[in-house]
Structure 1
Amino acid sequence: MVPPGVYAPQQDTALLARALSDESVPVGAAVLDVGTGTGALALAAARRGGRVTAVDVSWRAVFAARVNAARAGLRIRVLHGDLFAPVRGESFDLVLANPPYVPAPGGRRRPRGAARAWDAGPNGRMVLDGICREVPSLLRPGGVLLLVQSALSDPGRTVGQLRAAGLKAAVVRRARIAFGPVMRGRERWLRQRGLLSTTDQEEELVIIRAELAV
């Protein structure tokens, strides 16, 4: 179920789900899905035997994830809140993150409504930098972060910040996808910023995997 205003699972969701399928998820492993949307990734982790907590800043998304979990017969704890605020003091074996990462015009004002799922400030890092700062304290020894972002929002900076925090981090998957409605709507602005060439018609998505040493 995808209510109006809730981010529908798309290619970035599928790419992150494929990365999840490469991970060993022991039964009972503590999993956090931050920015869960409809709960698609949380459900995938629960089917693998994970003990899943899902978080979203949108009440509509929280409702959708709870309903989708109930329909699937899976037990998932779904919390409302911004990023990691609802799980302060907890730790996890696996963190999944599909944050907003699309560069957006309009300065650093916080997006509203459905745009909260994709708009991420002029450099696309309004949320990514916060994840890089906070996720190391949420991971258990041997814990893993799987994060999807656009190549437009500087994956090298993400990897560098995670490594500086003591994690082993690298890009492990890449995929090129045709522009969707959001990218098409700001294609001219992105070209003016030099984030797209005059011939680019596809966006590159990457999966970053980061692991905290045991």
Structure 2
Amino acid sequence: MGDEEVDEGVPALAERRDLEQVYQPAEDSHLLAEAAREAVEPGERALDVGTGSGYVASALAEAGAEVVATDVNPLACEQARESGVPVVQANLADPFRASVFDLVTFNPPYLPTPPEEAMNDWMERALSGGESGRVVIAPFLETAGRVLAPDGRVLLLVSTLTDVEAVEELATAAGFTTREVADESHPFERLVVLELRR
């Protein structure tokens, strides 16, 4: 939205919500980053989808991967670049050629959000997974499958709020095998990192 479209008397949604516009590392980010560090081999090509601040991508780079990241949010891309992460403003893995990445990581927006509670800003896009919490996962599986190298794998962060079994069913329908490689319990949810392979 251009400055000319902003009503000067109404604070931006992010200001009303007291939220930043770029998702910052939290428990889910830490769990995925640790799983990614353990999974990646030095010299492998890795893609971090929806990179936010670039935290997981940075962990992959520190582990020796050749990493690139994507995010739809231009503010996230700017912050990730400031952290030294090569990033492309894009939806999921859309701009990349087929069969190029050894590892794809994704911490998707997974909070179930009823339509009447949706707020149309960048932080909402980083958090909300639609009513089911899985609205971004099916399109991600399609694009991730396309860009994976023949022996590549995906690390996907999911929550029990999103229904882990339902995510596994989506992955199976997309041609992947799944296994849990990390998890962490919190008061209202269990976070799980799924490894997906063709």
TM-score range, shorter chain: 0.7 to 0.9
1:4-54 Cα shifts (integer Å, max 9, x gaps):
311010000011012113214132x11000000110111111111111110
Q: 2:4 is matched with which residue?
A: none
- The structure 2 residue matched to 1:100, chosen from 105, 109, 115, is 109
1:161-188 C-alpha deviation (Å, 9 max, x unpaired)? 222333221222221224xxxxxxxxxx
Partner of 2:82: 67
Q: Counterparts of 2:89 and 2:81 in 1: how far apart (Å)?
A: 11
- Please tell me whether the aligned partners of residues 107 and 121 of structure 1 are also in contact (alpha carbons under 8 angstroms): no
Q: Structure 1 pair 49/169, CA: closer, same or farther in 2 (3 Å)?
A: same
Aligned Cα root-mean-square deviation (Å): 2.1
Structure 1 position 135, deviation (Å): 1.6
Contact 1:80-1:86 at 8 Å conserved across structures: no
* 1:7 corresponding residue in structure 2: 23
Give the Å deviation of 1:88: 4.7
1:54 maps to which of 69, 77, 95: 69
Instruction: Specify whether residues 170 and 107 from structure 1 end up closer, same or farther in structure 2 by C-alpha distance, changes over 3 A only.
Output: farther
Indicate conservation of the 8 Å contact 2:134/2:162, yes or no. yes
1:120 aligns with 129
**Equivalence map 1:1-214=2 (5 Å):** 4-27=20-43, 29-69=44-84, 76-89=85-98, 91-106=100-115, 111-178=120-187, 202-212=188-198
Question: Secondary structure of 1:86's partner?
Answer: coil
Distance in 1 (alpha carbons) for counterparts of 2:94 and 2:194: 22
- Aligned mates of 1:32, 1:24 — CA distance in 2: 11
TM-score of the superposed pair, with normalisation by structure 2: 0.83
How far apart are residue 90 of structure 1 and its match? 5.8
Structure 1, unpaired ranges of 5+ = 70-75, 179-201
Give identity over the alignment, percent.
34
CA distance in 1, matches of 2:62, 2:26: 19
Q: Whole-Å Cα distance in 1 between the matches of residues 177 and 48 of structure 2?
A: 20
What CA distance in whole angstroms lies between the structure 2 residues aligned with 1:166 and 1:119? 25
Distance in 1 separating the partners of 2:170 and 2:129: 18
Measure, in 1, the Cα distance between the counterparts of 2:98 and 2:40.
24
- Cα distance in 1 for partners of 2:133, 2:52 equals 19
Kindly provide the amino acid, as one letter, of the partner of residue 193 in structure 2. I
